[in-house]
A and B are shown apart, each in its own frame.
Chain A
Amino acid sequence: MSIIKWHIRKGTYYDSVVLMQLQRGLLELPGILDAGVVMATPANRALLAANNLLPEGITANPDDLLIVVKANDETCATNAIGQVDELLARRQSSTSPASSDFRPRSLSAAVKQLPEANWVLVSVPGRYAAGVAREALDLGKHVFLYSDNVPLEDEIALKKTAREKGLLVMGPDCGTAILNGIGLGFANRVRRGPIGVIGASGTGTQAVTVHIHNLGSGVSHAIGTGGRDLKSEVGAITAHQALDVLTRDDETKVIVLLSKPPSPDVATSLISAAQGAGKPVIVYFIGYPPPARKIGNLRYAISLSEAAELAIEELGREGIGASRIPKTPNSRFVRGLFSGGTLAYEIMVGLQASLSPLFSNSPITHSQTLETPLQSKAHTIIDLGDEFFMVGRLHPMIDNDLRIRRMKQEAADPEVGMILFDVVLGEGSHLNPAGEFAPLINEIQKTRNGELEFVAIVIGTDDDPQNLQSQITQLRDVGVLVFRTVTEAVEYVSLRLGNKKDQSFTPVRLDHLKQPFAAINVGLESFYESLISQGAQAVHVEWRPPAGGNEKLASLLEKMKSKKENE
């Protein structure tokens, strides 16, 4: 035997969906066989009647809420009616515990949700990764490409596209980056600070940034490149872009450049670019024989920890300072006229990466050999103490005559933009070399309208017989830029005349690095959670293989996308 019980609420309006929901709640209660919750309109009453749910003899108006339950027994029915209010109240929380923020399925929808995101983290399976990265670039976003197993040709194509657009592709197989204080992928929580890191190795970057932190300093940005970036085929596209953007970043005072052994040609081009950075660069090419410990603004480290230590050490060093670099460009040649053979040789070692072609009568490699020491060409460093010049003459440290004549010769060449020379003081040397060079330089500048640069390396102490200070002053008075070490001179000359980096690429926008970090994560959810826990803004894309993994449809979709470029 079942019983029917009802309840009427006068003048109570609920939307029909709320009522259907309440009805469903009542049906779930123990002992309830059927239930009807309706506004008591004639149509609804007819509906109840058709289902044997309309109690006889009730009076209700269309504005009344009518609740009817059919139950096993009186108790169940009474209990159910008694729970109406609770069910109405519980409705919101119970029906959809899963209510949460919308998780987009596509990158384009995610970008609409977080338009300020400049970065896209990609960690989907390798065969889909290039496609996602390409889409990110098309949307104008930088890419952190964690995925591995991305074909080399895809990497090259992605990076070329990125370079044209002024975007970075960090990776593939990029494990670590720290941008504006936010760690991407595998990254340690390190203090913000003045050291920028460019890393082709994820764990290498972690080790260096951690050591920097533990030594009390901090990191401005650590930009990953992916392990293959420094291969010849890729040509260090990302590393070059990273170097360029960190060069322009005022907060970055020192740059650390880390890689497993790069291809030699790539190493040369990167070192050349690093010499033009205008700030100290610590280079650690693991397993690559460093040409020196310190050349110009470069210092070569021999371990990860030393790279960090050198970076901190360089922070305290006053570089030659950008202020000393003249604003007007100098794109002509340097002629170096040295009395000291070793000084000439060290200048060659320092400049050969950044100046080409570079010649000498005392070359490091055969290809740098001048046809005749008497005639300079392009960039030339002459060792005037060489045997060739010494026949029947005094050493140029004692007798300036040969250098004075050669200086006139070089100055007469309109292709020459800078004359570099050493002044070695001390016992045995000429007693007033500056006194002979200064009037000559003054004379030369009259014919060259003062636009020829003179750079001198003065080697001497304040106890030397020539009076160091007076030598320097005499040279400075005629506009000579005076350095006290070869290293400083190398740094200056590299910056001033060095092969201009391949500036055919669009520069990466510095403000993208400086804006509060916001990113879209496609792939591993833990990367998203990590971003959120670091206080970054992020949107996670609920990514799935295109067309549910159906290769035929996916390739068709790809064709339909690229149709534009084909025609």
Chain B
Amino acid sequence: MNIDEANKIAVSRIMEARPILKGVAPAREVIPGMKDNLFLHAGPPIEWGRMSGPLRGAIIGAMLFEGIAKSEAEAVSMAERGEVEFDACHHHGAVGPMAGVISASMKVYIVENAEHGNKSFSNLNEGYGKVLRYGAYSEEVLKRLRWMNDVMGVVLADALAQSNGIDLRALIAEALHMGDEGHNRNKAGSLLFLKLLAPLIAKVVKDEAVEAEVLQFIGDNALSVLNPVMAACKAMADAAHGVEGSTIVTTMARNGTDFGIRVSGLGEKQWFTAPAEIPVGLFFPGFSQADANPDIGDSAITETAGIGGFAMATAPAIVTFVGGTPKDAMNATLEMYEITVAESKYFTIPALDFRGTPTGIDIRKVVELGITPRINTGIAHKNAGIGQVGAGLVRPPLKIFEDALLAFAEKYNL
């Protein structure tokens, strides 16, 4: 076994993966192992008792949405009694932003990796404000979810059925040249998404009011494309998992309590976890650092695949998250080259002379240099239902990379 060679294989699988958005369907029909009383969530696996506010809120909301519980109190007691099951999205080829809760009836995007054949899934993005992914479950939230599922989801499914799919790798590459980094900023990508969807939607929707409503919803939401992008990154990262002898990180995810990573050359369900840190960032009016929940969401899959915080240098509009000047953004990306083994062939950064984004986090480099990955993130309120309170930067605890290194050494008798 040669670690460097194994890592080359793993990272080339990340880069060569070709995620194509193929369709939209209810989770129970497409997500492997999905069932009616199963609730998938972001991050590493976690039991109800240890879940943070936003994640609990989202679970409650999803139980109400599914009709499994009639009230918040009933949902909580069912969860406490173990009458519903929980599992990590990542164990089912899925990812979800923030709480990342996916239940059986929810419509999900289906992404296929045309290069390696694996599939991945993500839920539909609700937009800003009071939303399920931040743990809100008021009637307003549920109503929007129902509309998304029953109206927009159907439209999207029909629209995508008209096409050969949307090439997400190409979309991301283009968005990076338009000032997105693919995690905190998806303005350009969402507009590109709308551009690609609009003619398809126009073809399949008979009711002009519905058409307008759906187009408006996608267009107004600068995060519309986040979920397909995350699914694309998931498809890329999954393709790289299970390469014998590779020290490349294939998952970084947080559930609001723990930060977890998985490593290509280690087990499928072998997580290394430690308490998630509280992101540092800028806050919306009326909120402060004291309101922030520990880091949450599967969206760190973007950094795992080499965009997001790793592509900071290409997103000058949001440089204030990293210090304030384009140079800080540049430095953020340059720092990530230190802990990665390759530069993306497909995602390039004009400001760095079209250098590829830093791709393929090597746990050896992280431990040796003591540099942890930079993750751009939204910040959730620590109490369920309040929603997003800011956005900023977070890093995983160094310890989980050290633990992974020790486990790797043990498995390979080093």
Contact = CB atoms under 8 A, between A and B. Distances in A.
Interface of A: 15, 17-18, 20-21, 23-24, 34-38, 43, 46-48, 50-51, 53, 68, 91-92, 95-96, 98-102, 104-106, 109, 112-113, 544, 546-548, 550, 553-554, 556-557, 559-561, 563-564, 567
B335 interface: yes
Nearest to B387: A47
Contacts of B327: 99-101
B334 A46 contact: no
Contact of B328 (A43, A50, A96, A564): A96
Given A17-B318, A547-B368, A567-B2, A51 B286 contact: yes
Contacts of A24: 282
A544 B370 CA distance: 9
Contacts of B320: 17-18, 20-21, 91, 95
Interface residues of B, number: 43
Greatest chain A CB density within 10 A among B323, B338, B406 is at B338
Interface in B318-335: 318-321, 323-325, 327-328, 330-331, 334-335
B9 interface: no
Given A43-B128, A46-B129, A91-B324, 14 more contacts: A15-B317, A17-B320, A20-B390, A21-B282, A36-B285, A47-B285, A96-B323, A99-B328, A100-B327, A106-B369, A109-B338, A560-B247, A563-B1, A563-B2
B323 A95 contact: yes
A564 B2 contact: yes
A560 B368 CA distance: 11
Given A96-B328, A104-B334, A559 B414 contact: yes
Contact of B285 (A38, A99, A113): A38
Contacts of B338: 104-106, 109
Q: Which 4 A-B pairs have the closest CB atoms?
A: A51-B286, A36-B285, A95-B324, A20-B282
B143 to A, nearest CB: 16
Given A17-B282, A17-B321, A53-B286, A560 B3 contact: yes
A346 to B, nearest CB: 60
Interface in B331-375: 331, 334-335, 337-338, 364-365, 367-371
B337 A92 contact: no
A556 B189 CA distance: 42
B86 interface: no
B217 interface: no
A95 B324 CA distance: 6
B150 interface: no
Interface in B262-304: 282-286
A553 B327 CA distance: 33
Contacts of B331: 99, 101-102
A20 B284 contact: yes
B323 A36 contact: no
Nearest to A15: B317
B405 A556 contact: yes
B85 interface: no
A567 B6 CA distance: 14
18 contacts: A17-B318, A37-B285, A47-B285, A51-B285, A68-B285, A91-B324, A95-B325, A101-B327, A106-B365, A106-B369, A546-B368, A547-B370, A548-B370, A553-B367, A553-B406, A563-B414, A567-B1, A567-B2
Nearest to B320: A17
Contact of B335 (A35, A102, A544, A556): A102
A128 to B, nearest CB: 12
B391 interface: yes
B4 interface: yes
Contacts of B283: 20
A446 B218 CA distance: 100
A51 B402 CA distance: 43
Contact of B369 (A23, A544, A559): A544
A28 to B, nearest CB: 13
Given A17-B317, A560-B247, A567-B2, A34 B285 contact: yes
B402 A47 contact: no
A113 B334 CA distance: 9
Nearest to B321: A17
A99 B367 contact: no
Contacts of A91: 320, 324
